[in-house]
């Protein structure tokens, strides 16, 4: 078997992925193992985990592929400083030593991290957006498709359109730095007091609370959208090289004050800005999608890049865009580019240094439900729990599900750790915290007492795929929780008097209040028995007892923590939060029976 | 090597002992200038002692090793920062102005017209450029 290892990292969200004869065997984010959220360090643990899952060593690898061309990126970095001078001195003094300290010599770095790598094993380099495009198209179910990648910046490109056909990706057009939707969204993320490269989804969650007052101002002064789908940023308002935030004084004067600090309260203008930038982003993305359709004439669209994690915009692309079908890489950010790099090397033509392997698309997709990480055996789980002095019962799978469903119906919050770990930012029912979505106070309870995070953030529902249409206005499936759709009319509850700002959170708007956002939308995960059999069976049990085929599904972590990986991580998180019940592998644990009231946490908390 | 449990090899032990020598050397220089008590010879004699302590009892010496490593990294980071800030002022800024004088600007800051650029292809997978 030919094994190809893909690596991404050294910027944010490092990851590794492993292919065996083109099949995706494993993919892991470094943060899940290092316990540092968005870990940017070289992904040594993730690489080892991938090799271990396949039962091989680095000596068995046929190629290693990195997700960027480091020298091209370095030259762009220098050119940007030349273009931006005399501003940017501090950023230069921080960035360049980092480059000279090892980011340029990636071959050397990879070989020193993998001493068993054969001398003749090639180390290959894709471009950043080629890796994104490959991660979007090759695992998709489409034989041919338009491919749109949108993120902060790669080498020069920030947005690309390509055509995928068979095992070939043909790049067509790109928009280059500094004109970047990802950069623009991140600038507003930082301005509203959230952390760049991880707080963008908080801004998206905040948007429905605000009014789009600033849309016209933004379009006139900060970003211009053109008829052909392209866009340009006005750099008089933005500072792409600033270290702490990406906006300048002129921006602050125009939008009502200095950037919000994370500990300051959210004001109405932050809500309005969040809404406005969301509206602008959606318009820009719809323009890009129309352009991709014009350029390729395809009926299918594949999406990747960090901006493709904007599931509100994705929902609009599906509903209002010209494409009949849409497939989004579940790890659309830089972590997924590790997988893309490996796939680009595997299917890449021989004259470019690839393996030239053909591709046969699968009926669903090639992501295996996104469950590509490590899994602990029941014995290993019990050994971990024993070491931590936990009190547990080992149960048969049916009994375990029965007990979990009973706990959920009793209004308890359940930690659910089963099977292989997810790859990508979303917990899809293998490392999840679950709750009953019919309870009106469940959202604030889970946000404040369990996850210790902002109360405004909505939770996502996991629904049995076959009953999704009864609850949500969603055409097709959403197995990776990447689409937002309105609650179906029959489930809506009219609100007599609409409250203002964050007070809107307390109003019940549907039969599933805990997962319904203030604008009546939900971020849906459809669960089917092929991709996700264990979680499907649990939902079926819950449906049989309650008639409701929906559960709250949120990632198993607390604020500042990466999603839990091992049974030990899960137990520590369980003890240190207000989760009532933990089901990890075959083991069932109840909070009141545990000996510990608190445990040292296993992660390095990253502030917002 | 930041935690005691990672001390495995003789090399780790040597690194811990050796990391304590520069602070002792600094004390020796300071004692020569009269800034700290003790004779320079005593500090010189202490150097092999701390090296030996580090190698024989790394667990006890390791907290100091970590503290000094952090201080060294902090100091080194600041010196490198100042050095590259100087490079920016002396080399990058003048070059940038020179380029602008001859009508070149590496980044496109214009606000009008389409920003689409025809793709030049992905290039060889073998090249990091």
Segment A230-276, tens digit of pLDDT:
999 999 999 888 766 789 999 999 999 999 998 899 999 999 999 99
Helix axes B21-32, B58-87, angle to 10 degrees: 70
Number of domains into which chain B is organized: 1
Q: Is B106 an interface residue toward A (CB < 8 Å)?
A: yes
pLDDT at res. A444: 80
B127 domain-assigned: no
Selecting from A69, A94, A231 the residue whose C-beta is nearest the C-beta of B128 gives A69
Report whether pLDDT(A563) > 70. Answer: yes
In sequence order, the 6+-apart residues with CB closer than 8 A to the CB of A361 are A140, A141, A142, A143
Residue A595 pLDDT level (bands cut at 50, 70, 90): confident
B124 within domain boundaries: no
Q: Is the pLDDT of residue A217 over 50?
A: yes
The verdict on residue B75 lying in a domain is: yes
With CA atoms as reference, report the closest residue to B122 among A174, A21, A308: A174
Q: Are A79 and B105 in contact (CB under 8 A)?
A: no
- Among chain A residues, the shortest Cα distance to B126 is held by A124
pLDDT attached to residue B3: 42
Tens digits of residue pLDDT in A338-388: 999 999 999 999 999 999 999 999 988 999 999 999 999 999 999 999 999
What is the rounded CA–CA span in Å between residue A520 and residue A509?
7
Selected residue with higher pLDDT from A11 and A468: A468
ipTM for this prediction: 0.88
Nearest C-alpha in B relative to A227:
B114
> Do A557 and A563 form a contact (C-beta atoms < 8 A)?
yes
Q: Catalytic residue at A270?
A: no
Could you tell me the pLDDT band of residue B4, with boundaries at 50, 70 and 90?
Answer: very low
| Structure confidence at residue A163 (pLDDT) | 98
Please indicate whether, in this complex, the C-beta atoms of A80 and B107 are within 8 angstroms of each other: yes
A590 vs A412: CA distance, rounded Å: 10
Q: What is the pLDDT of residue B105?
A: 82
Determine contact: B124 vs chain A, CB below 8 A: yes
User: What proportion of chain A, given as a percentage, has pLDDT over 70?
Assistant: 99
Q: What is the pLDDT of residue A242?
A: 77
Question: A133 to chain B, minimum CA–CA distance in Å?
Answer: 11
Q: Note whether residue B114 is domain-resident.
A: no
pLDDT at site A243: 67
Nearest to B107 among A83, A353, A354 (CB): A83
Please check whether residue B65 lies inside any domain of the structure.
yes
Q: Given pLDDT bands bounded at 50, 70 and 90, which one contains residue A605? A: low
Q: Is residue B33 assigned to a domain?
A: yes
Q: Is B129 on the interface with A (CB under 8 A)?
A: yes
pLDDT at residue number A361: 92
| Average per-residue pLDDT for chain A | 93
Say if B88 falls within a structural domain. no
For residue A585, the tally of other CB atoms under 10 A from its CB is: 24
- Domain annotation covers residue B68: yes
Provide the pLDDT for residue A386: 96
Antiparallel, parallel or unpaired: β A587-590 and A393-394: antiparallel
**Given pLDDT bands bounded at 50, 70 and 90, which one contains residue A11?**
confident
Element (H, E) at B25: helix B21-32
CB of A353 within 8 Å of a chain B CB? The answer is: yes
Q: Can you give the residue range of the structural domain that contains B58?
A: 4-80
At A405-435, the pLDDT tens digits run: 999 999 999 999 999 999 999 999 999 999 9
What are the tens digits of pLDDT across the range A77-128? Answer: 999 999 988 989 999 999 999 888 878 889 999 999 999 999 999 999 999 9
Mean pLDDT confidence for A46-64? 97
Confidence tier at A403 by pLDDT (50, 70, 90): very high
pLDDT at A560: 86
Task: Say whether pLDDT at B1 is over 50.
Answer: no
Q: How far is the alpha carbon of B111 from chain A, nearest alpha carbon, in Å?
A: 6
Chain B touched by A171 (CB under 8 Å): yes
Q: Looking at the complex, report in whole angstroms how far the Cα of residue A559 sits from the nearest Cα belonging to chain B.
A: 26
Angle of CA points A278, A280, A286, to nearest 5° = 100
Q: Is B100 on the interface with A (CB under 8 A)?
A: no
Q: Which residue has the tokens 């369980």?
A: A574
Q: What is the mean predicted confidence (pLDDT) over A160-177? A: 97
> How high is the pLDDT of residue A321?
95
Domains of chain A, each with CATH number or no CATH: 378-593 (3.90.870.20)
**What pLDDT digit, counting tens, does each position of B35-50 carry?**
888 899 999 999 999 8
Dihedral over alpha carbons A478, A481, A486, A487 (to 10 degrees): 90
Decide if A179 and B114 are in contact by the 8 Å CB cutoff: no
Cβ-contact A577, A594 below 8 angstroms = no
Beta bridge partners of A325: A300
Which pLDDT band holds residue A47 (cuts at 50, 70, 90)? very high
Closest Cβ opposite residue B88 in set A79, A93, A177? A93
Q: For residue B111, which residues of chain A lie inside 8 Å, CB to CB?
A: 224, 232, 234
Among candidates A83, A171, A179 on the partner chain, residue whose Cβ is nearest the Cβ of B106: A83
């Amino acid at each position: 078997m030919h094994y190809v290892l893909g690596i991404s990292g050294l910027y944010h969200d490092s990851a590794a992925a492993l292919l065996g004869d083109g099949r995706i065997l494993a993919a892991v984010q470094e943060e899940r193992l290092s316990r540092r959220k968005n870990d940017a360090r070289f992904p040594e643990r993730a690489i080892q985990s991938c090799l271990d899952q396949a039962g091989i060593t680095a000596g068995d690898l046929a190629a290693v592929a990195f997700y960027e061309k480091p020298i091209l990126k370095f030259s762009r970095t220098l050119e940007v400083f030349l273009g931006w001078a005399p501003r940017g001195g501090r950023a230069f003094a921080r960035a360049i030593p980092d480059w000279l300290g090892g980011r340029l010599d990636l071959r050397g770095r990879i070989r020193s991290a993998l001493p068993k790598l054969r001398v003749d094993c090639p180390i290959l380099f894709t471009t950043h957006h080629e890796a994104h495009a490959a991660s979007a198209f090759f695992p998709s179910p489409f034989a041919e498709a338009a491919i749109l990648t949108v993120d902060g910046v790669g080498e020069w490109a920030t947005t690309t359109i390509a055509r995928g056909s068979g095992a070939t990706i043909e790049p067509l057009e790109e928009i280059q730095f500094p004109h970047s939707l990802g950069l623009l969204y991140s600038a507003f993320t930082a301005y509203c007091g959230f952390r760049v490269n991880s707080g963008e989804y908080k801004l998206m969650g905040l948007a429905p609370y605000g009014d789009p007052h600033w849309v016209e101002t933004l379009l006139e002064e900060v970003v211009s959208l053109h008829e052909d789908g392209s866009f340009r940023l006005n750099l008089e308002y933005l500072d792409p090289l600033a270290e702490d935030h990406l906006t300048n004084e002129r921006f602050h004067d125009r939008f009502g004050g200095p950037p919000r600090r994370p500990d300051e309260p959210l004001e109405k203008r932050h809500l309005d800005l969040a809404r406005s930038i969301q509206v602008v982003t959606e318009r820009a993305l719809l323009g890009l999608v129309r352009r991709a359709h014009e350029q390729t004439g395809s009926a299918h669209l594949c999406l990747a890049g960090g901006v493709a994690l904007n599931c509100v915009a994705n929902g609009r692309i599906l509903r209002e865009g010209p494409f009949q079908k849409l497939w989004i890489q579940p790890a659309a950010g830089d972590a997924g580019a590790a997988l893309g790099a490996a796939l680009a090397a595997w299917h890449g033509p021989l004259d470019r240094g690839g393996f030239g392997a053909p591709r046969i698309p699968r009926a669903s997709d090639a992501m295996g439900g996104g469950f590509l990480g490590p899994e602990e055996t029941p014995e290993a789980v019990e050994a971990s729990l024993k070491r931590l002095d936990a009190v547990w019962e080992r149960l048969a799978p049916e009994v375990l599900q029965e007990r979990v469903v009973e706990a959920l119906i009793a209004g308890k919050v359940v930690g659910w750790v089963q099977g292989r770990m997810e790859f990508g930012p979303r917990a899809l029912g293998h490392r999840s915290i679950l709750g009953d979505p019919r309870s009106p106070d469940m959202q604030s309870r889970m946000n404040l007492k369990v996850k210790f995070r902002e109360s405004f953030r909505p939770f996502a529902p996991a629904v049995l795929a076959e009953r999704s249409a009864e609850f949500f206005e969603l055409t097709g499936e959403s197995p990776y929780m990447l689409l937002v759709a309105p609650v179906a009319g029959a489930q809506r509850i009219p609100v007599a008097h609409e409250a203002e700002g964050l007070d809107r959170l307390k109003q019940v708007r549907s039969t599933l209040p805990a997962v319904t956002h203030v604008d009546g939308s939900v971020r849906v995960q459809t669960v089917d028995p092929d991709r996700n059999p264990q979680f499907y069976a649990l939902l079926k049990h819950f449906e049989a007892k309650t008639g409701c085929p929906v559960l709250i599904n949120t990632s198993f972590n607390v604020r500042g923590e990466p999603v839990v990986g091992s049974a030990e991580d899960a137990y520590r998180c369980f003890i240190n939060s207000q989760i009532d019940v933990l089901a990890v592998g075959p083991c069932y644990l109840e909070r009141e029976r545990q000996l510990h009231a608190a445990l040292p946490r296993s992660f390095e908390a990253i502030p917002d | 090597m930041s935690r005691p449990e990672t001390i495995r090899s003789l090399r780790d032990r040597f690194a811990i002992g050796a990391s304590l020598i520069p602070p002792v050397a600094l004390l020796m220089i300071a004692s020569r200038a009269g800034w700290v008590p003790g004779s320079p010879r005593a500090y010189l004699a202490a150097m092999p002692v701390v090296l030996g302590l580090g190698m024989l009892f790394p667990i006890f010496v390791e907290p100091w090793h970590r503290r000094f490593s952090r201080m060294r990294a902090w100091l080194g980071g600041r010196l490198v920062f100042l050095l590259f800030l100087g490079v920016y002022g002396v080399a990058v800024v003048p070059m940038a102005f020179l380029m602008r004088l001859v009508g070149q600007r590496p980044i496109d800051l214009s606000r009008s017209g389409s920003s689409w650029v025809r793709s030049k292809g992905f290039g060889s997978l073998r090249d990091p450029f």
